[in-house]
Amino acid sequence: MYTGKKITRVDAYDKVTGRTKYTDDLCDKGAYTAKILHASIAHGKVLSIDTSRAEKIPGVVRIFTCFDVTEKHYYPTAGHPWSADPDHQDVADRLVLTENVRFYGDDIAAVVAEDETAASQALRAISVEYEPYPFVLDVQEAMKEDAPQIHEAYPGNLLKHTEIQKGNYEEAIKEPGLTKVEGWYETPAVQHCHIENFICFAQMEGDRITVTSSTQIPHIVRRVVGQALGLEWGKIRVIKPYIGGGFGNKQDVLYEPLCAWLCLQLGGHLVKLDMAREETFVCSRVRHSIRSHIISWVRPDGTYAARRLEAFSDQGAYASHGHSIAAKGAGAFAQLYPCENVKVDAYTVFTNKPAAGAMRGYGIPQAMWAVECHTQDVAAKMGIDPIAFRRKNLMPKGYTDPFSKNELYYDTFHQCLDKAMAEIGYEQKFSAYQNQTGDIRRGIGAAVFWYNTAVWPISLETSSCRMVLNQDGSLQVQLGETEIGQGADTAFSQMTADVLGVPVSQVHVISCQDTDVTPFGTGAYASRQTYTAGFAIRKTGLLLKERILTYAQELTRMPSYNLDIIDGKIVRITDGRILMTLGELSTQALYSMADSQHLTAETTSQIKSNAYSFGCTIAEVEVDIPMCTVRLLNIVNAHDAGTLINPALAEAQVHGGMSMGFGFGMSERMIFDEKTGRTLNNNLLDYKLSTFMDHPRLKSVFIENPEPTSAFGTKALGEPPACSVAPAIRNAVLHAVNVPVNEAPLNPHRLFQRFTEAGLL
Amino acid sequence: MYTGKKITRVDAYDKVTGRTKYTDDLCDKGAYTAKILHASIAHGKVLSIDTSRAEKIPGVVRIFTCFDVTEKHYYPTAGHPWSADPDHQDVADRLVLTENVRFYGDDIAAVVAEDETAASQALRAISVEYEPYPFVLDVQEAMKEDAPQIHEAYPGNLLKHTEIQKGNYEEAIKEPGLTKVEGWYETPAVQHCHIENFICFAQMEGDRITVTSSTQIPHIVRRVVGQALGLEWGKIRVIKPYIGGGFGNKQDVLYEPLCAWLCLQLGGHLVKLDMAREETFVCSRVRHSIRSHIISWVRPDGTYAARRLEAFSDQGAYASHGHSIAAKGAGAFAQLYPCENVKVDAYTVFTNKPAAGAMRGYGIPQAMWAVECHTQDVAAKMGIDPIAFRRKNLMPKGYTDPFSKNELYYDTFHQCLDKAMAEIGYEQKFSAYQNQTGDIRRGIGAAVFWYNTAVWPISLETSSCRMVLNQDGSLQVQLGETEIGQGADTAFSQMTADVLGVPVSQVHVISCQDTDVTPFGTGAYASRQTYTAGFAIRKTGLLLKERILTYAQELTRMPSYNLDIIDGKIVRITDGRILMTLGELSTQALYSMADSQHLTAETTSQIKSNAYSFGCTIAEVEVDIPMCTVRLLNIVNAHDAGTLINPALAEAQVHGGMSMGFGFGMSERMIFDEKTGRTLNNNLLDYKLSTFMDHPRLKSVFIENPEPTSAFGTKALGEPPACSVAPAIRNAVLHAVNVPVNEAPLNPHRLFQRFTEAGLL
């Protein structure tokens, strides 16, 4: 058994030695460089663009403006599977270049040059004449009747209104003796800050166009590039090399359409588009800033009678994933603490800001901020221990969601809380930190999270896999599910090794997807990799094994059901005797003069299940009141992600997620200039990303309840670690200083304001 | 139907516009350059190599000598499928670098440098001390008892003695009234002269090594690199891009093992090895020079009573394909003009010259030179019209070879001769050119050829294919059979389009093989591409079609046997109604929420048949006796290659082959310095390659007798056109001036000698 073991990452050596090839490494040096001219107003119309000076700069090949986009193929960018149902298709609101500026940074022209210097010089030499319109940056302001209108098709700037109605909220709140607890909670726009900025290059072969891209979703990029160019999808080929992080930003189709379009305009010449960090901040995607208003009606016994959520999700200028992110957060609100009477209204609203899209957690970090800050507030108001209050109200074992049919099979929340509390010494610290005085105070706080794996039944879940046996008994595995730094290839190798009965060193997962030959799979998102690919690996592996043993029967005269593959050898199970190695079998099969067979297998698995992942964070902080700083002393994440395929990689996933959650809670936010709509901190000097230097020792513990719907007992672990860190820190600060800080992040500016309001300063 | 039509090559546009990527285009500029130090003696031992001066040259990374090859993994180079039978495995007589020099040019050391200049400088700065041995350049000299011994394992330098015995030659020649006709015939060593010299590069990923190579046989290269490095074959990955010609030279494994070995020594760093033209001439492979001695015993009625062939095939210094090439020629001798009493001894003999390997025709151009010159001589001696004599004695319709079970299903020789003779006006010219006098004389001559397709039952024939359906109804096709400039991808596209019922523009053949993901197929040789791949395409296409129609049944409620795919549409055959496009079906299948399927298919076909290809050349020449020159006035090739997949490409194949045959007959030969063994004309200035400027209008005609063993009625056409051109020219010259020239080529030097001997000068 290789699953469950701490196998070294299959790509460790190459990554550590710098041998791994990323997109830029693969681009021929003869490529043209493309650079984008971004709008310098937040809202308006491009009246004219003067490129005459720019065109004279040596090395400039061509300049294309929004006025050159004569065939208007609007396309969506969200990395969702295509839906045959038009009502379920993503919003197609993008053009490769636009004359309708909707945010400061919108794409209005592109320079193609022989080198980067010429391209940059040309950008500066272009003059643009705009007709500026009023713009709106605040999500609730954007909903007002007189607000500037950003998309014609969406009056009131409302991209989506998500409603959940359960029971009768209005009637339920009339129950006598209820305590009303109300709060507003808000999270900022933050950026993914993957190390490798977005980059892609495109060139033509024959009448087809090949796009190599730093993406999480090659097969989806293929479809969207086809839509954006008005070409049949089979005319597009997308290649995904190793990527330097994505975190959901590369679950959007970013500039692949523009790059491919430029290539097409230039007769198929190789064109590279390499985003700068400043552009990545503003012109890729950000996490939705969400403002939530929660009202809870609590009975004296500490149970919920009715709950109300209004959420305002700031979509920015383009639709991207917006409609589904608020929906996911709303679902979490309704399910995490089940209550008979629930009313949710989530509004996803356009503003003149950078477009928001998928980011690790997909709405759940924002929802958990609101819900878990609020839960703490409710417990406080009711005078109930916050852990006890959660235990009482959380989704109980056996809970089944009527829509997804998801079931909670284990007493997982109690297990996670118990293990995390024991790890950090919660009880003792919780008591010790009560009623402190002085400038420096400590606190401990918890937050739980809910996360469901993969996207069924909202969207399609499908994963195909192909396996190819080599002469030496080793094999290649091809999947559309992608390695994006998380270690998916290693997990896939372990699963394959176990299904087939071969040493893990004999499994070669083809890391690079090529839509021409890679089986269809939609890519890395929704924490679906090990869950969905697991089905495809298991089904394909078993089919290949059956073919191998059938051939072994030809060679050995033993019926295949008396044979097995163990450690890469064909074993007669009746007496355990090794009959031949898998390599010997494969070589004989391939080169047989009697019956030559190239042993391979390929299958599609459609996944019609989904699985709840759960867990919690407990954070211990020290607050320096005069300095308005918070120091994280200890932190632990507990996860029930089902069976772990590779505990070392699982731990690494959790550590990374905790770091992102830490930044989200403590320091990260994008700041926009009210006067211009410009992003003021579009770089890693002005935007305070959480790094190793900020971390305490990150602790993770696991409850491995095997998920019965899953091929290998696994469920989501990629995104969950980022979901409950920020509210746990906030709750710890509340514990320390008794000041609720309802807007993330808890940076010194905000603490100064809140501490001042609270009279601590 | 697309087969049978003159479809434009699928790669035409990219090749014409220079967009096609070849091996060198794909190599990262950070690659190290490797250059080989070749021995400057013809035979001997390297005593020491002083690299001290060379190592000091800036940019030199490392220098490896034959003494660094401590693990001696001998490997074969012939591009044959592996055989599980050790007696049938190729001769493993090569090391990546050798201290035992066997020809002037042998590989004794290699420089790896940061650039080509440093590598070249370093080569010149290396000093070598040799112990020289006597050497031998003539094939029959090499068989003498006191000849220098080249390989310890092959005493007498005899690599292989091929014998064929049929009837009783010694008894048969005692029949009264027989006429004995005897002759010696000889062909020179020539080189393939593909435009792109051999090039490859290697680098490591993890513990595996990837070799990108200009080869015809990627899957075989993988195996041989594994053998040469002593690594499991699954640790090797070989990628084959477009190549600029091969003609059999790249059916040998050339420097891939050395390049991979250098990469391995350098910790996996990317190393490129790019051969110069001078090296390609000497250090890749050449066509075997074969000296043949034929004795025919002819009855007064013009039939053969007995026939004898002794052939001496000059293998050069290493085994390569040698053992099988003489065997193929010997088989042709025995089968083309069947005779009850035949005795053949073919000797394949090592000499201290460049190694001979596969070249277009694989022994048959040499055999046809001997046989068809001799046939003309026999007819002349018997006073029988040479065409009539051939018609009387050629393999008759219904002939079946007892070994291969090949059958001649049609009256193909007569058909080919009739068509060629009509095309060129043979009868009239043959009469007109009798009994000429004067300095300038014309003549017309014919030669036939025999060629069998693919290699069964000598070796394995297997071909696997995978097809992947895209959302728009287009599809990718993956095969191990390779495009080497001959147009295979276009033929594969046409065959696929017909099997599936889709427009040919919807078929994308993946031209680039990657042994990690490309189904197993042994590559381009033995004129096997359309024949063997045809089986795999047909079987896979039918399986994919079945899967498509089964899914169509799900969507349409029509039983699949009432459905067909016509022009990319699902058609109800009962009334011809179009129910949906294949693209609609594929999109629905892939994105179905009920039953998501990625429609693909993959199968292996083992081919246990073989097919005779036949044809003839008729050449008309004008001989200038005082100038000793021959001008080709007209030439026609007639071929029965079965059904033509693409008549335009078939014609192009024939034109190319005729040009090679023309060079072989008229001008090409490699010259070796008797004193040193050095090749004197290792470049395209000193070696007179046939080019467009030398050609008359090349005519080709076809007899399309569908081959019943074949998936698409096809049989060999790649190599046959090169087989009968040279003897046809020789026979035309004989007709013009009555001087038999038995050694190719008929260049002025040789004609001066022969005309002088004949008293014409």
| pLDDT score of A682 more than 90 | yes
| pLDDT score of A146 more than 90 | yes
pLDDT value of position B598: 96
Give the CA count within 13 Å in the CB-facing half-sphere of A293.
7
Give the CA distances from residue A260 to residues A96, A206, A229, B265, in Å, rounded to whole numbers and listed in that order: 10, 14, 8, 40
Q: Which backbone phi and psi does B13 adopt, to 5 degrees?
A: -60, -50
Helix spans in A266-404 (H)? 277-283, 322-336, 364-382, 386-393
pLDDT value of position B405: 86
Number of H helices, E strands in chain A: 20, 29
| C-alpha to C-alpha distance for B269 and B280, rounded to whole angstroms | 25
Q: Whose CA is closest to A148, among A100, A190, A109?
A: A100
Over residues A486-494, the mean pLDDT reads 97
Q: Which two tokens stand for residue A46?
A: 């491009």
Residue B645 identity (one-letter amino acid): I
Q: Tens of pLDDT along B417-468? A: 999 999 999 999 999 999 899 999 999 999 999 998 888 988 999 999 999 9
Residue B387 identity (one-letter amino acid): I
Residue B509 identity (one-letter amino acid): V
Three-state DSSP at B352 gives coil
pLDDT value of position A405: 86
Residue B580 identity (one-letter amino acid): M
Give the CA count within 13 Å in the CB-facing half-sphere of B713.
13
| C-alpha to C-alpha distance for B240 and B227, rounded to whole angstroms | 19
| C-alpha to C-alpha distance for B15 and B21, rounded to whole angstroms | 9
Look at the alpha carbons of A558, B536, A507, A216 in this order and tell me if their dihedral is positive or negative.
negative
Q: Whose CA is closest to A714, among A466, A413, A488, A506?
A: A488
Q: Tens of pLDDT along B327-366? A: 999 999 999 999 999 999 999 999 999 999 999 999 999 9
Task: Please judge whether A84 and B591 are an interchain contact, meaning their C-beta atoms are less than 8 angstroms apart.
Answer: yes
Q: Tens of pLDDT along A601-646? A: 999 999 999 899 999 999 999 999 999 999 999 999 999 999 999 9
pLDDT value of position A403: 84
Three-state DSSP at A532 gives helix
**A38 near A105, Cβ under 8 Å?**
yes
**How much of chain A, in percent, has pLDDT values that exceed 70?**
100
Q: From B584, which residue of chain A is nearest by alpha-carbon distance? A: A84
Q: Tens of pLDDT along A219-265? A: 999 999 999 999 999 999 999 999 999 999 999 999 999 999 999 99
> Which of A83, A234, A510 minimises the CB distance to B471?
A234
Task: Please judge whether A468 and B516 are an interchain contact, meaning their C-beta atoms are less than 8 angstroms apart.
Answer: yes
Give the CA count within 13 Å in the CB-facing half-sphere of B183.
20
**B254 near B556, Cβ under 8 Å?**
no
Give residues with Cβ within 8 angstroms of A695, minimum separation 6. A632, A658, A659, A662
Average pLDDT over chain A, rounded to an integer? 97
Confidence of residue A92 (pLDDT cuts 50, 70, 90): very high
| C-alpha to C-alpha distance for A255 and A241, rounded to whole angstroms | 16
B chain contacts of residue A595, beta-carbon cutoff 8 Å: 606
| C-alpha to C-alpha distance for B754 and B761, rounded to whole angstroms | 9
Q: Which backbone phi and psi does B275 adopt, to 5 degrees?
A: -75, 145
Give the CA distances from residue A487 to residues A8, A530, A567, A642, in Å, rounded to whole numbers and listed in that order: 10, 10, 23, 17
Structural element, H or E, at residue A61: strand A60-65
| pLDDT score of A454 more than 90 | no
pLDDT value of position B404: 84
Q: Where are the beta strands (DSSP E) in B167-230?
A: 179-186, 199-205, 208-213
Give the CA distances from residue B464 to residues A705, B457, B522, B541, in Å, rounded to whole numbers and listed in that order: 43, 18, 10, 12
| C-alpha to C-alpha distance for A429 and B44, rounded to whole angstroms | 85
pLDDT value of position B322: 84
> Which of A232, A268, A476 minimises the CB distance to B517?
A476
pLDDT value of position B125: 98
- Mutation target for A interface from B201, B517, B592: give the one with most A CBs within 10 A: B517
* DSSP class per residue in B509-563: E--SEETTTSPPB--S-TT-HHHHHHHHHHHHHHHHHHHHHHHHHHHH-S-GGGE
| C-alpha to C-alpha distance for B68 and B62, rounded to whole angstroms | 11
How far from the centroid of its chain's Cα atoms is residue A589's Cα? 43
Task: Please judge whether B19 and A462 are an interchain contact, meaning their C-beta atoms are less than 8 angstroms apart.
Answer: no
Three-state DSSP at A107 gives strand
A chain contacts of residue B510, beta-carbon cutoff 8 Å: 516-517
Total CB pairs under 8 A between chain A and B = 153
**How much of chain B, in percent, has pLDDT values that exceed 70?**
100
A123-127, B526-530, B599-603: least confidently modelled range: B526-530
| C-alpha to C-alpha distance for B422 and B573, rounded to whole angstroms | 45
Minimal C-alpha gap between A68 and chain B (Å): 25
| C-alpha to C-alpha distance for B169 and B339, rounded to whole angstroms | 10
| C-alpha to C-alpha distance for B550 and B570, rounded to whole angstroms | 11
| C-alpha to C-alpha distance for B628 and B640, rounded to whole angstroms | 35
**B24 near B274, Cβ under 8 Å?**
yes
> Which of A83, A206, A598 minimises the CB distance to B10?
A206
Tell me the β-bridge partners of A652. Answer: none
pLDDT value of position B489: 98
Task: Name the percent of chain B in helix, strand, coil, to the closest 5.
Answer: 30, 25, 40
Q: Whose CA is closest to A363, among A402, A423, A309, A444?
A: A309
**A225 near A213, Cβ under 8 Å?**
no
Q: Whose CA is closest to A521, among A485, A483, A549, A558?
A: A483
Residue A323 identity (one-letter amino acid): H
> Which of B83, B464, B596 minimises the CB distance to A604?
B596
Residue B316 identity (one-letter amino acid): G
Tell me the β-bridge partners of A202. Answer: A211, A271
How far from the centroid of its chain's Cα atoms is residue B184's Cα? 25
Task: Please judge whether B206 and A28 are an interchain contact, meaning their C-beta atoms are less than 8 angstroms apart.
Answer: no
Over residues B693-697, the mean pLDDT reads 90
| pLDDT score of B231 more than 90 | yes
Q: Whose CA is closest to B485, among B240, B208, B119, B740?
A: B240
| C-alpha to C-alpha distance for B247 and B603, rounded to whole angstroms | 28
A chain contacts of residue B10, beta-carbon cutoff 8 Å: 206
> Which of A25, A464, A517 minimises the CB distance to B478?
A517
Write the DSSP symbol of residue A81: -
pLDDT value of position B113: 98
A364-382 and A386-393 helices, crossing angle to 10°? 110
| pLDDT score of A377 more than 90 | yes
Question: Radius of gyration of chain A from Cα atoms?
Answer: 27
A chain contacts of residue B207, beta-carbon cutoff 8 Å: 13
| pLDDT score of A506 more than 90 | yes
Helix spans in A467-581 (H)? 488-500, 529-556
Minimal C-alpha gap between B246 and chain A (Å): 22
* DSSP class per residue in A221-265: HHHHHHHHHT--GGGEEEEE-B-S--TTGGGB--SHHHHHHHHHH
Give the CA distances from residue B125 to residues A280, A496, B54, B99, B678, in Å, rounded to whole numbers and listed in that order: 52, 52, 5, 19, 21
Confidence of residue B692 (pLDDT cuts 50, 70, 90): confident
Residue A619 identity (one-letter amino acid): A
Over residues A453-464, the mean pLDDT reads 92
pLDDT value of position A605: 97
**B747 near B666, Cβ under 8 Å?**
yes
Give residues with Cβ within 8 angstroms of B655, minimum separation 6. B698, B700, B721
How far from the centroid of its chain's Cα atoms is residue B144's Cα? 31
Task: Name the percent of chain A in helix, strand, coil, to the closest 5.
Answer: 30, 25, 40
Provide the whole-model pTM. Answer: 0.96
Give CA torsion, residues B724, B725, B729, B732, to 10 deg.
50
Give residues with Cβ within 8 angstroms of B301, minimum separation 6. none
Over residues A154-175, the mean pLDDT reads 97
Give the CA distances from residue B561 to residues A684, B212, B537, B558, B571, in Å, rounded to whole numbers and listed in that order: 63, 45, 21, 8, 11
> Which of B13, B583, B596 minimises the CB distance to A462?
B596
Q: From B475, which residue of chain A is nearest by alpha-carbon distance? A: A234
Task: Please judge whether B598 and A604 are an interchain contact, meaning their C-beta atoms are less than 8 angstroms apart.
Answer: yes
